Chains A and B, each alone.
Chain A
């Protein structure tokens, strides 16, 4: 099971966090600090895995961004590495040559995409096409909703209520 997903920039800034196991806010900060310390200091040729507190953290660097996932002791590390890549490819397809800035400014969209790939700490969908279709359906519905909410009359009604 994946316990959490972290996206950290090379400067140690957090770009996205998703927790599938309960961690308090305090623990979260501690985990992030601890892990970014270990992972950012690792050399480029080393394993993409780090053993940590009885778990394993699989990470991969894309440009300046580190994608990390924490998994159980008996999970398949290479598979998780590919899950990360799967996620990045879907992001890439969605944003069109995704770069770190996309994720900084649209982190909530990245969350929606992640929610279609992972659920309850497991991979729920391994077909890129299915994920893309679902996200597109959501987006179009949201567009409709936006139009509905964005009409002037609606806004005035809201503002004057």
Chain B
């Protein structure tokens, strides 16, 4: 009875709720919207969770209520609370026959569950069933879910159906099937590798949407393996050409650009295919050049395409003409007021400097402006550019800039990145030892704990091995300057652990090497470090070992060793340390000190950290001992793999049959039980294997079965009575033992090929000369002297020598390639015209025959004309800036929203009237369009468009509903009612 009452209430409320939701739900959202603190919100949400728990758990809850509860659960989880108790109800709802519930169920599971969730296995069957549905919308919903939820294990269950759907008659289904297959390829490339050819086929799909979707998987495939797709270059170029020539249906236009998203994807693919391939690149030059010439600089999307063109040009085999166009485009980007465009300009500059380092110089001041900009994003991008253009001449300035910036930021991720870049640059280009050590000190001091431990080890190795190949003097200078600065720094109160490790190690190895410091001085410092850092065991260990080294060098040199009192006490303390590692080190140190000079010299040779230490891995020196033990009756050693293999050995035969069956889950229905006469062979073994088209390499094959005779536990007779555990254990049981890949312990430390790092002497005269030349070029702009100086030190310097070289060497090829390019253009031009004549008929890759007819009339775009009329009423200055500054380029929609917005509170009514009074406008239009002969239907279209578009009446109505519900614009939420596109 209660139920019926509730239903009655629901029915009565049906029209009341507004937004098509129940009152309860609206109240929830409203109350959360009005909370003033996180705690209050949490309280409401927790109460809601309790309600949902009881209601969802109630078996009598009607389905349509369940659906609402699920949506509410989604809301709760979106706010960051745990809703896992309700996941199972979402899964249950996907099983429903009614699409209304099924769709909600799918939405909920795709939002709730990750690919590795345990509940997925319960949905696979439903997805399988829905993929076979007659209703294409159900299939679409299932494909959406498959993209999100199907994991490596469950791919085989749905794969055959998804492949079948690639040929579905609805384009929406084909498109989603392509994307699902793409997703499977991302998850487990092996499982769909035999289906890759399907993507090529779908590229020729009649529907541009399907073709566009196919570009995603193809892009990934080409990234992995360029060479097997070189044959598609011409197809891609053709498609791009057709897209650029507006052969696609009008509905793919975006801001008057023909299918820009597809263009961008194609340009990306071409960039990959043309990378380092002259022949392939030559096919692309014409079309990329065309697109760059025609681009529309007023819209964001136009610039996006242009930027992608630059990326493509910088990736394919260089073409001087295109590079020139690209450079022009970059300078436009850099001069722009929009931060977005400047950001892209800097990025593009970084790409182009790889090919032609001179380009950056033309924009030096723009780059410096970006470097000093307040926008952090822009700044970081500029640092990336600087990193790319570092040379031995400007390394000092750049690294110093980077270090200064690094010190001032809090973002650990970026700090780490910039620190490792500094280290890398310093290692590669350091002009002097002193500078190198100083820079490293700074980096480690401020980001020591963030940088990769490898960087610290690198530094130690670098100091040990030195820069020069054979020059020992330079190396020892490097070491002594390191030691000197470290003895100074070690007194600082707080240093990162990684840095202290380096300091301890270097002081231990080289502290006394040049005789400048006495052993007692260094050991005193080391003891201080160990004392100060009572909690950091790693640093302590480094310090103790360093002490050991110092003392043993002393002993080996024949000097008498007096242990410092603090050192004594340190050793005493560590002998009783909780850390066994420290204890061992302390004992070793004590033992070392007691030995005589000859032994110590052998144990701890001077400066031998780079020598190889030979290790007898087979422990052959123990052979005699083992032999003796075995003779005395000991058991021989049985390796772990043999011990594991033992249990399987009795069932060795069935093993192989099991191997390919046990590793993956089965999704086909169970076979009907057959009365079998041979119980020894379980029916599973006999089942056909075609269901598993992909055989994943089975890891148990590594187990070595041909073992030495071992005492077999299971005799043949008893094996039948035992549980059959063979094969079961493979997935979840004890992992089989892999024989470790024989790693050679000979540390083949790769020597850093620094080459000579002689600093190109940066003469001040040189940079001044650059100033003058720059000033004469641009006398009208006033530039602060600091900026100029920075510019000169960044871009000047070595460029003089570099430049002379490059300009002389480049001149000749430039002319050559120009000529080559010209002839190429002519060739392609002629071939183009030839091709065009023949290419209209079926050879078109995209069969868009019908649309070509309409696309011949682009100049008659009624919207453009309408815009033209409306634009005149707008303030011309606002239009000028509109293109770049994040607001949208003038278009119909924004105009509408403008008008409806203004209508709500202010006075620019004349604009409104122009729109509302559309009859007069339209009559003007019909004139215009009639003249061109397409009158009737375009006008009809236009009126339709006008009426269907957003409307301020709508928003007023909405406003009214919301007020009815009790949500009123308050100081807290004045914007809730504002149109997003306003």
A residues sitting closer than 8 Å to B (CB atoms) are 10-11, 13-18, 20, 22-25, 28-29, 32, 43-54, 60, 62-65, 76-79, 81-83, 85-86, 88-89, 91-93, 96-102, 104-108, 111-112, 115, 119-120, 122-130, 134, 137-138, 141-142, 145-146, 148-150, 155-156, 158-160
A125 to B209, CA, bound (A): 6
Task: Determine if B557 is an interface residue (Cβ-Cβ < 8 Å).
Answer: no
Instruction: List chain B residues, Cβ under 8 A from A14.
Output: 78-80
Are B254 and A99 within 8 A (Cβ)?
Answer: no
B488–chain A nearest beta-carbon distance, Å? 36
A34 to B885, CA, bound (A): 26
Instruction: List chain A residues, Cβ under 8 A from B175.
Output: 124-125
A-B contact pairs, 15 of them (CB 8 A): A32-B80, A52-B413, A79-B261, A82-B301, A96-B951, A97-B979, A98-B979, A107-B74, A108-B107, A111-B107, A124-B175, A142-B103, A145-B101, A149-B64, A149-B100
Of residues 142 through 187 on chain B, the ones whose CB sits less than 8 Å from some CB of chain A are 144, 147-148, 172, 175-176, 179-180, 182-183, 186
A41–chain B nearest beta-carbon distance, Å? 11
A20-B148, A129-B251 known; 8 other A-B pairs, CB under 8 Å?
Answer: A25-B80, A45-B339, A51-B380, A78-B303, A105-B19, A115-B107, A125-B212, A149-B98
Contact of B254 among A86, A108, A119, A134 (CB under 8 A): A86
Contact of B179 among A50, A98, A120 (CB under 8 A): A120
Are A48 and B78 within 8 A (Cβ)?
Answer: no
Instruction: List chain A residues, Cβ under 8 A from B107.
Output: 108, 111-112, 115
A16 to B144, CA, bound (A): 18
Also in contact, A29 and B80, with CB within 8 A (given A137-B137, A156-B4): yes
Are A97 and B951 within 8 A (Cβ)?
Answer: yes
Are B950 and A111 within 8 A (Cβ)?
Answer: no
Contact of A46 among B99, B179, B209, B375 (CB under 8 A): B375
Task: Determine if B292 is an interface residue (Cβ-Cβ < 8 Å).
Answer: no
| Residue from A98, A102, A127, A130 having most chain B Cβ neighbours under 10 A | A127
Task: Determine if B975 is an interface residue (Cβ-Cβ < 8 Å).
Answer: yes
A146–chain B nearest beta-carbon distance, Å? 6
Are B976 and A101 within 8 A (Cβ)?
Answer: yes
Are A76 and B375 within 8 A (Cβ)?
Answer: no
Of residues 805 through 833 on chain B, the ones whose CB sits less than 8 Å from some CB of chain A are none
A98 to B212, CA, bound (A): 28
A97 to B212, CA, bound (A): 29
Q: Mark B409-452, 1 if CB is under 8 A from A, else 0.
A: 00001100100000000000000000000000000000000000
Are B979 and A99 within 8 A (Cβ)?
Answer: yes
| Residue from A18, A83, A102, A160 having most chain B Cβ neighbours under 10 A | A102
Are B978 and A48 within 8 A (Cβ)?
Answer: no
Closest to A63 in B: B978
Q: Mark B1-33, 1 if CB is under 8 A from A, else 0.
A: 001100100000000001111000010010001
Task: Determine if B390 is an interface residue (Cβ-Cβ < 8 Å).
Answer: no
Are A127 and B980 within 8 A (Cβ)?
Answer: no
Closest to B948 in A: A93
Top 4 closest A-B pairs, CB basis? A64-B975, A78-B304, A62-B980, A145-B100
Which stretch from B108-116, B532-540, B597-605, B704-712 is at the chain A interface? Answer: B108-116
A25 to B252, CA, bound (A): 37
A62 to B175, CA, bound (A): 30
Task: Determine if B308 is an interface residue (Cβ-Cβ < 8 Å).
Answer: yes
Are A99 and B260 within 8 A (Cβ)?
Answer: no
Instruction: List chain A residues, Cβ under 8 A from B897.
Output: 92, 97
Task: Determine if B62 is an interface residue (Cβ-Cβ < 8 Å).
Answer: yes
Task: Determine if B377 is an interface residue (Cβ-Cβ < 8 Å).
Answer: yes
Are A119 and B179 within 8 A (Cβ)?
Answer: yes
Size of the chain B interface, CB-CB below 8 angstroms? 110
Are A126 and B82 within 8 A (Cβ)?
Answer: no
Are B29 and A104 within 8 A (Cβ)?
Answer: yes
Are B3 and A160 within 8 A (Cβ)?
Answer: yes
Task: Determine if B104 is an interface residue (Cβ-Cβ < 8 Å).
Answer: yes
B375–chain A nearest beta-carbon distance, Å? 4
Contact of A120 among B4, B182, B209 (CB under 8 A): B182
Task: Determine if B325 is an interface residue (Cβ-Cβ < 8 Å).
Answer: no
Instruction: List chain B residues, Cβ under 8 A from A65.
Output: 975, 980
Contact of B249 among A88, A93, A127 (CB under 8 A): A127
A62 to B979, CA, bound (A): 8
Instruction: List chain A residues, Cβ under 8 A from B954.
Output: 96-97
Contact of A18 among B63, B111, B260 (CB under 8 A): B111
Also in contact, A122 and B179, with CB within 8 A (given A46-B339, A63-B979): yes
B6–chain A nearest beta-carbon distance, Å? 8
A70 to B209, CA, bound (A): 24
Are A101 and B962 within 8 A (Cβ)?
Answer: yes
Task: Determine if B900 is an interface residue (Cβ-Cβ < 8 Å).
Answer: yes
A97 to B956, CA, bound (A): 10
Also in contact, A47 and B179, with CB within 8 A (given A64-B976, A112-B107): no
Closest to A25 in B: B82
Are A22 and B378 within 8 A (Cβ)?
Answer: no
A91–chain B nearest beta-carbon distance, Å? 7
A159–chain B nearest beta-carbon distance, Å? 4
A62 to B100, CA, bound (A): 31
Are A141 and B137 within 8 A (Cβ)?
Answer: yes
Instruction: List chain A residues, Cβ under 8 A from B339.
Output: 45-48
Also in contact, A128 and B251, with CB within 8 A (given A10-B975, A49-B340, A158-B63): yes
Instruction: List chain B residues, Cβ under 8 A from A46.
Output: 339, 374-375, 377-378
Are B62 and A98 within 8 A (Cβ)?
Answer: no
Closest to A58 in B: B340
Are B179 and A78 within 8 A (Cβ)?
Answer: no
Instruction: List chain A residues, Cβ under 8 A from B140.
Output: 134
Also in contact, A76 and B307, with CB within 8 A (given A63-B980, A89-B893): yes
